[in-house]
Amino acid sequence: MAILRVAIPSLGDGGLDGKRAGHFGHCDVFTFIDLEDGEIKEITTLQNKEHVQGGCMVPVNLLAENKVNALVVGGIGMRPLMGFRSVGIDVYHDAVRADIRPVVEDFIAGKLPMITDNDVCGGGSAH
């Protein structure tokens, strides 16, 4: 089975024991969890790039370049969601917990739903 690389927007230094960032585009780093057969093989972090004007696609391209297969977010806008879909990155939803480790455990267990168009953030939504 191929390695599955999951990206989680993170605060500070990230890592498995780190905290998640509320807005993926403005996170400090992305924590990458490399999974093989449902087991964590490697954990790395990648510095996010500056979110400039029209920058919704900056993290999309960054994650695509780094061979990410899946992304777990608390919320996302439609433009970046469409961008991730266009590069073949599945986007999963977990808006509840701030800690990275339990989110990864739920992802491995298949408990996280894929985000739908109804879950996206919009102006004035409750996210």
Q: Are 23 and 75 in contact (CB under 8 A)?
A: yes
Q: How confident is the model at residue 96, as a pLDDT?
A: 74
- What are the residue ranges in the chain where pLDDT is below 70? 1, 51-56, 121-127
Q: How confident is the model at residue 24, as a pLDDT?
A: 78
Between the alpha carbon of residue 33 and those of residues 4, 30, 109, 126, the distances in Å are 8, 10, 14, 29
Q: How confident is the model at residue 125, as a pLDDT?
A: 38
Domains of the chain: 4-91 (3.30.420.130)
Q: Is the pTM of this model over 0.95?
A: no
